[in-house]
Amino acid sequence: MKIIFSPSKEAREENIFKNKKIEFTESPFKDKTNILIDILKQKSIEEIENIMKLRADLLNKTYKDIQNYDKLKQLPAISMYYGVSFKELELEAYSEKSLKYLKNKLFILSALYGLSQPFDLVKKYRLDMTMSIVDKGLYNFWKKEINEYISSSLAKDEVLLNLASGEFSKLIDLKKINMINLDFKEEKDGLYKSVSTYSKKARGKFLNYLVKNQIDSLEEIEKIDLDGYSLNKDLSNSKNLIFTRKNF
């Protein structure tokens, strides 16, 4: 079993693994990342404002970061990203065994890097899949490479567990890869609905649980009862495991 996860715009400034003996690696699609950086560097601040829908200080900072991309600090991907989902990961408490699980199992999808493994070195950025900076869009730009890379990493009959958002899981070619979706819904008055912030937290909590408990099968996942979520067999099917909780 391998796992896909979404990136985040929020980023740490420091490497939390600096006191651990971890071998850091390069992103597999560095050349394609550099193509995108070169395109962004050629954009005016007004064009960046229009593409990324940024204003004021954040716009100025983002534009400056793009122009000075070569000088930005590199951090391992799992340490740099610090959005809602990532804040649920107890990275600093992970054992060597847990870190090895992360390294072997997790792919973090990305509009700028295509795909990173946890200890690939990356830099902060604010590019989304929906932003128009290349002909035919970023989905087309990345899809072939990402699917070939993931497919080559999967053993025969091995599944890809989707803990990514819809924006990023759309990158996966379901004709080539056997992907199982994990989704989280809140129940109120007999109705179930997804709530974005709760779903982001749940994806992080579940990844944290998988890592700490070395979970490696769908059978084990189906038994998880965490933060009020448990498998809803009525809503689930062979491709979608729906976890629900009451009274959110």
* pLDDT tens across the length of the chain (248 residues): 999 999 999 999 888 987 778 889 999 999 999 999 999 999 999 999 999 999 999 999 999 999 999 999 999 999 999 999 999 999 999 999 999 999 999 999 999 999 999 999 999 999 999 999 999 999 999 999 999 999 999 999 999 999 999 999 999 999 999 999 999 999 988 899 999 999 999 999 999 999 999 999 999 999 999 999 999 999 999 999 999 998 75
The answer for residues whose C-beta is within 8 angstroms of residue 95's C-beta and 6 or more apart is none
- Alpha helices (H) along 106-217: 137-153, 166-169, 196-213
Q: What are phi and psi of 189, to 5 degrees?
A: 55, 40
Using CB atoms within 10 Å of the CB of residue 70, give its burial: 0 to 12 exposed, 13 to 18 middle, 19+ buried.
Answer: exposed
pTM of the predicted protein model: 0.95
Tokens of 187: 């129940």
The torsion region of residue 246 among left (phi > 0), alpha (psi -120 to 50) and beta comes to: beta
Residue with tokens 């394609």: 32
Query: Do 5 and 207 touch, CB atoms closer than 8 A?
Result: yes
The residue among 42, 46, 101, 32 whose CA lies nearest residue 66 is 42
CA gap 112, 124 in Å, rounded:
10
CA gap 131, 152 in Å, rounded:
28
**Amino acid code (one letter) for 63:** Y
